[in-house]
Chain A
Amino acid sequence: DSGVTQTPKHLITATGQRVTLRCSPRSGDLSVYWYQQSLDQGLQFLIQYYNGEERAKGNILERFSAQQFPDLHSELNLSSLELGDSALYFCASSPRGGTGLSGANVLTFGAGSRLTVL
C-alpha cells in the first residue's frame, strides 16, 4: 500500500457520460498530480495541484477538470466521454510542488482508476 488512495478502481461507462475520479494523497503530502496512461501514449501529465492551488497544466482536455480540496484530496472530472478516453488514470502525491527546492520530487502513485468507455 503506497498510501495514495484512488477510487474507483474500475469504472465502465458510456460515451457522452461524466465521471469523477477521486484521490487521497499520502499523509503529509501537499501536491497531487494526475496522469493518464493509455497503451500507445505512456504516462501523460494532466495537471498538478499544490495545497489547493493549480500549479501546472499538461495535456488536459477542456472536457476534463480537476480540483484539490482543503483536506488535500483531489477529484478529476471527465465529461462528454469519448471512446478514446478509455485509459488508466493515475494520481500521485509528493511533499512539495513548485517551491523552488532542489533535490528529488519523488512521486508516490496510487493504484490507478481504470476507465472503460463503451
Chain B
Amino acid sequence: GQNIDQPTEMTATEGAIVQINCTYQTSGFNGLFWYQQHAGEAPTFLSYNVLDGLEEKGRFSSFLSRSKGYSYLLLKELQMKDSASYLCAVQNRDDKIIFGKGTRLHILP
C-alpha cells in the first residue's frame, strides 16, 4: 500500500522561513510533487523531485531523500499570500498520483 504523512497545520510569521515535512511509503516510486492549494481553489503545481537533493525555485525549495522516504518543502521570505495548504504527492511508475492530507500553513503578520 501507500502511505503519505505530513503535519496537519503549521503557523509561521511573515518574512520568516518554514519547512514542511513529508514522509512516504510506496512501491514503484517515480517522483514526488508538492502542490499549493488556497482555500476553495484547485491545487497548483509547485515542484517535482525524483533524484535525491534540493531543487530550488525562487522562494520555494524542495528536498528529497529516496532512501529515507522523506521530502520537505522550504518556503523563504514568507508572504501573507503563502497562507494555503501544501500537498505532498507521490507518483508511481504507472503514473498514479497519491496525495497526502495536506498541511495548512497560517502566516501571521
Check if A109 sits within 8 Å of B101, measured CB to CB.
no
Check if B43 sits within 8 Å of A109, measured CB to CB.
yes
Contacts of A68 in B (CB 8 A): none
Q: Roughly how many angstroms separate A111 CA and B42 CA in the complex, as a whole number?
A: 5
Contact with A along B95-109 (1 / 0, CB 8 A): 111111110000000
- Chain B contributes a number of interface residues (CB within 8 A of A) equal to 23
- Range for the number of chain A residues in contact with chain B: 20 to 34
- The answer, yes or no, to whether B21 is at the interface (CB within 8 Å) is no
With CB as the reference atom, state the residue of chain B lying closest to A48: B96
Check if A45 sits within 8 Å of B96, measured CB to CB.
yes
Contacts of B30 in A (CB 8 A): 102
Check if B96 sits within 8 Å of A43, measured CB to CB.
no
A contact set with B: CB distance below 8 Å: 2, 31, 33, 35, 41-45, 48, 50, 55-56, 58, 90, 94, 96-100, 102-112
By Cβ-Cβ distance, the 7 closest A-B pairs, closest first, are: A42-B101, A109-B42, A104-B48, A43-B99, A98-B94, A56-B96, A98-B95
